[in-house]
Amino acid sequence: MNSLQLYRQLTKRLEEVSDCAQFESKCLLEHFLSLSLSDIYSEKEINDDLSELYIATEKRLNNIPLQYIVGKWEFMDCEFLLNKNVLIPRPETELLCECLADKITPESVVYDLCSGTGCVAISVQKLSGAKVYAFEKYDGAYEMLLKNITLNSCAVIPVKFDICKKPDLDIEKSDFILSNPPYIRSEDIASLQKEVLNEPLTALDGGNDGYLFYRAINQNFMPLLKNGGYLAVEISENQETEVINIFSSLNHIKTIKDYNGIKRVVVFRKG
Ligand SMILES: C[S@@+](CC[C@H](N)C(=O)[O-])C[C@H]1O[C@@H](n2cnc3c(N)ncnc32)[C@H](O)[C@@H]1O
């Protein structure tokens, strides 16, 4: 079999579960056989052991996301290691990293609450040079956060902490707070796409009404935001009004829509 035949065979199989089957087979061939797209089209004879590739394909056909299979993904031009303990970074979350980029300076103190892979904290630190603290509660996710800080050689400060508790930490106040918290209503979780159900529940479940973490951030972290400081949170569709209510002690500055026209990031200023 040559590379193009293998690519076509793989693509046909992945069409069962994916709308981007060509892209996914290209990623799998690149990851497992180091084949570039031009290698694939050059119809190279394949003599490699294909067992790992076939195991990976079966996993994908069982709705395991491609990102977990290859164990890494790109976000804001940086690479992040992934496993089933962390949410896969989404392209729309790049808006959260960019929305205050013109204000965050190397002198700023930034908190990223609910950090997971650290994709927000690490990207913002690299973009701005700011002092960034990354808060994450769960062991598996915290471990991935530490690995990604090392991989990206950046000075993010990891903090293992449950943001639903009042911080009695000896920590300096922040100029900026960013967060992409879990925000799906508990009862909606079961109806999510099968791939998403392979992501950690602890990264998705926003409590009975989906607002548990916004309330926690308001209650526990607003005292740690300096006057004149900014808060930006990612939200899901139709959450803007209630999130503005929750942070009613702040001034709503703007709401940013994502590429699908969905209101995705809400930005506030304290004072
Ligand atoms: C929606 S994910 C966001 C991950 C990452 N910031 C991103 O944007 O891809 C939410 C993260 O919050 C973490 N988390 C859930 N409950 C938490 C809590 N009480 N305190 C701190 N982190 C929490 C989860 O483990 C998960 O990593």
> Residue 139: its pLDDT value, please?
98
Spatial separation of the C-alpha atoms in residues 216 and 206, rounded to whole Å: 11
Q: Would you say the CB of residue 87 lies under 6 angstroms from ligand 1?
A: yes
Q: Would you say the CB of residue 162 lies under 6 angstroms from ligand 1?
A: yes
> CA angle at residue 217 from 216 to 221, to 5 degrees?
120
Report the predicted TM-score, pTM, of the whole model to 2 decimal places: 0.95
> Residue 16: its pLDDT value, please?
94
**Residue to probe by mutation, ligand 1, list 84, 138, 139, most atoms within 8 Å of CB:** 138
- Residue 219: both structure tokens together: 């209650």
Q: Where are the domains of the chain?
A: 3-62, 83-269
Spatial separation of the C-alpha atoms in residues 97 and 153, rounded to whole Å: 18
The hierarchical CATH code for the domain 83-269 is 3.40.50.150
Q: Ligand 1: distance of its center to the CA of 207 in Å?
A: 13
> Residue 168: its pLDDT value, please?
78
Q: Would you say the CB of residue 116 lies under 6 angstroms from ligand 1?
A: yes
**Residue to probe by mutation, ligand 1, list 99, 115, 215, most atoms within 8 Å of CB:** 115
> Residue 170: its pLDDT value, please?
80
> Residue 119: its pLDDT value, please?
98
Q: Ligand 1: distance of its center to the CA of 116 in Å?
A: 5
> Residue 104: its pLDDT value, please?
98
Q: Ligand 1: distance of its center to the CA of 32 in Å?
A: 30
Kindly list the averaged pLDDT for each block of 10 residues, start to end, along the chain of length 271: 96 95 97 96 94 97 97 97 98 97 98 98 98 98 98 96 90 96 97 95 98 98 97 97 98 97 98 92
Query: How far apart are the two ends of the chain, measured CA to CA in Å?
Result: 66
Atom from ligand 1 closest to the CA of residue 135: 21
